[in-house]
Structure 1
Amino acid sequence: MPYSPFDKTFMDGLADLKTIGRYEIIRKLGEGGAAVVYLGKDRYIKRLVAIKMSRPTSDRGRERFFVEAQSAGMLSHPNIVAVYDADIYKDFCYLTLEYVDGPTLKKFCVRDALLPPARAVEIVFSACNALDYAHRKGVIHKDIKPSNIMLNREGAVKITDFGIAQMIGKTAELGVMGTPSYMSPEQAEDGIVGLQTDIFSLGCVMYELLTGERAFPGDNHFTIMYKIINKEPEPMLKIRPDLPEILEQIVGKALAKDVKERYQSCMAFADELRVALRGLTGVVFRDEDTGEVVDYVHHVPFFQNFTREQVAELVEANSIIRVPVGNIVVAEGEISDTFYIVLSGKLKIMKGDEEIAVIGDGECFGEMAYIAGQARFATVIADTDCILMEIKPTFVDRLSKSIQFLFFKNFATTLVRRLTRDSKDTGG
């Protein structure tokens, strides 16, 4: 590839490099910014390593390079790339790092290579745990982006490149630093940077993992930073309607412009991701998970006008069931007044052999048999693996009038939505 004069002198200085310190150079892994990375081997302990080399042009640049050694070197976490060594070679600085044999998340941020939503959430969950650990150690990464999050051969997350990390409580040097598309508003405005900066950047990564689109696209840095400060990203469900609504809510909170409206810690971010994973993976809830179940159910659109205490009462008294794809939940003509709320998944409503509708997260079915006391008018089949809340009418009848009112209000809202959808489908 062609190099600028500076780049050429940089690479010329590393020509014919065979060894550095106690490390044998095997091959170049990549280059970017002001650094080049080699695959090396420790001659003494026979361990493969990544060697990141930089040639600072000033004392300040050299100091910044070793910030990575100081900040990442004090971190020991399974989801953070380990720093083994730091030294100087001629007029170059180098770090010896854990070698991760796997791709970065950049590979999975394009429309034709997206991971399943549950896997994407698992990755962000692991990144949250790693960043929470770093924050508790007093380190803010400040440059979270897809290319700085790797997956090893086993699929484990590894966060790398603490090159512009800041120690919490220390004042950052003047000037905007970070990668524009993943900067927080406070970074873009050269404001005070805290741990919520990493949360915003990770929200950008999650948005991209789920949609294949950048949250704040633009042709130049000015356009991107203007959008980060002033504009909301395109709704994820508009790009990818099959995503559960809870994921859009979580990403929306991570991307809040106001730091106070964002998650206040990566652990709080992770807690909500854990709730979402329950629905995405179809895990059967255990008794000791009641709090997480309540949180998840409360996120479902049908229950969002209920209080958390009311949802807890419903969870305590009713069954949450998993229905595998292809199973019939209710059959046309059967006599039953049990009704269901879809917590996750999609179901087909069939009248005879004709599919008349598809319903998903937050919708209800079977309520007409309960309200009118009539036989089922259609068959409902799981179109994907589903998690449903099964509600017995005898339970509803014992509820307070205020909760019964919420049920009937939401039944009516669902009915209006269906009629509106049917009208549009028939051109009415």
Structure 2
Amino acid sequence: MDGAQIVKLERELLRKIEFFQKFNDDELDKLLSEESFFSFYQTDEFIIREGDSNNCCLFVLIGGEARVTKLDELGQAQEVGTLPQGAIFGEMSFITRQKRFSSVLAATDCTVLKVDPQALESMDSNIHILIQQELIRLLVLRLDQSNTRQARKDLVNQELVSSIRQMHKRLDGPGL
């Protein structure tokens, strides 16, 4: 396979991921030619480690599945979620340049695209803007999902409180 065929294959892989739907071929080729590169991880290998401040790359899960863990108060890793093929992760540290908030491990053998923040700064402004727009869209979507989950929890809590009050009234009712 020659270089042009490899670039075409890589471009086709990215086309399947929603995050890159608005990118044209030229923009995808420029993104792939920069400091972005594909990395391969075996099952249970760390892609990101919680607390790491040296790696602020943005990751795109091209193939495989990953799991997200967070250290509890005893320092034990607790699984908090899974990431399917096509998932974008590492966006918080990519944007803020702060330490990683959680770890991501390969749940299966994985292929990821890493986008280096310094490389992004030197890229064509259209690519920079597209990535920013997609990150904003992604973060708004995640915030909306989080708000929906919280609203459901609040509703369940209200129902529990109401049930407890009703039980309390019955116990304190006439004849006691």
Question: TM-score of the superposition, structure 2-length normalised?
Answer: 0.73
Matches of 1:342 and 1:386 in 2, distance apart? 7
The verdict on how the C-alpha distance between 1:395 and 1:375 changes in structure 2, with shifts beyond 3 A counting, is same
Q: Choose from 38, 47, 65 the match for 1:320.
A: 38
| Structure 1: gaps spanning 5 or more residues | 1-284
Please tell me whether the aligned partners of residues 62 and 110 of structure 2 are also in contact (alpha carbons under 8 angstroms).
yes
Matches of 1:424 and 1:325 in 2, distance apart? 32
Report what 1:295 is aligned to: 12
Report the structure number with the largest CA radius of gyration. 1
SS at match of 1:332: coil
Map Cα deviations across residues 62-84 of structure 1 (whole Å, 9 max, x no partner).
Answer: xxxxxxxxxxxxxxxxxxxxxxx
The verdict on how the C-alpha distance between 1:286 and 1:378 changes in structure 2, with shifts beyond 3 A counting, is farther
- The answer on 1:342 being equivalent to 2:57 is no
The verdict on how the C-alpha distance between 1:357 and 1:414 changes in structure 2, with shifts beyond 3 A counting, is farther
- What code does the residue aligned with 2:13 have? Y
- The answer on 1:414 being equivalent to 2:138 is yes
Map Cα deviations across residues 179-204 of structure 1 (whole Å, 9 max, x no partner).
Answer: xxxxxxxxxxxxxxxxxxxxxxxxxx
Shift of 1:337: 1.3
Q: Which aligned pairs between 1:209-228 and structure 2 lie closer than 5 A?
A: none
Please tell me whether the aligned partners of residues 344 and 387 of structure 1 are also in contact (alpha carbons under 8 angstroms).
yes
Please tell me whether the aligned partners of residues 363 and 414 of structure 1 are also in contact (alpha carbons under 8 angstroms).
no
- The answer on 1:399 being equivalent to 2:123 is yes
Report what 2:47 is aligned to: 329
- What code does the residue aligned with 2:62 have? L
Report what 2:22 is aligned to: 305
- What code does the residue aligned with 1:409 have? Q
- Percent of matched pairs sharing the same residue: 22
Shift of 1:328: 0.7
Report what 1:358 is aligned to: 82
The verdict on how the C-alpha distance between 1:345 and 1:306 changes in structure 2, with shifts beyond 3 A counting, is same
| Structure 2: gaps spanning 5 or more residues | 72-76, 154-176
The verdict on how the C-alpha distance between 1:419 and 1:356 changes in structure 2, with shifts beyond 3 A counting, is farther
Q: Tell me how large the CA RMSD over aligned residues is.
A: 2.0
Matches of 1:286 and 1:356 in 2, distance apart? 41
Shift of 1:343: 1.3
Aligned length: 144
Question: TM-score of the superposition, structure 1-length normalised?
Answer: 0.32
Q: Higher relative contact order at CA 8 Å, sep ≥6: structure 1 or structure 2?
A: 2
